[in-house]
Amino acid sequence: MEEVISKTKELILSFEESSLIKNLEHYKSLVVRNRNLVAKIQKFNASMDDHEKIVLKRQIYQNNDYQNFMKYYTELFYLILRINNRFKQYTNVKGCH
């Protein structure tokens, strides 16, 4: 069990040092510093008007920094999903829950 914990810590460290995380953090900081873009994102999240949401979503996705942030976010999301599914194979034993 100690080896599993050690290898998991190594995996986390590898993530933290990876270009994927560095790029994600870089583009996140650019997005967060863009007040106009943040205002559009907040307006999008608060809106109940479908037409307004479509217009705002198009405007948000025209921003290259946001596109890059979402690219790396999506890549990380699917990588974590694959890891979680792999762990689930080892822990999801029918009849034990």
The DSSP line for 41-78 is HHHHHH---HHHHHHHHHHHHT-HHHHHHHHHHHHHHH
Across 8-17, 22-31, 33-42, 73-82, least confident range: 8-17
Question: Which residues form the domain of 47?
Answer: 19-85
Residue 46 belongs to some domain of the structure: yes
Mean per-residue pLDDT, 45-72: 98
Domains of the chain: total: 1
Residue 8 has pLDDT above 90, yes or no: no
Please check whether residue 30 lies inside any domain of the structure.
Answer: yes
* pLDDT score for 90: 78
**Residue 20, pLDDT score:** 96
Q: Greater confidence, 4 or 55?
A: 55
**Separation in Å, CA 10 to CA 44, 60, 78:** 38, 36, 19
pTM comes to 0.81
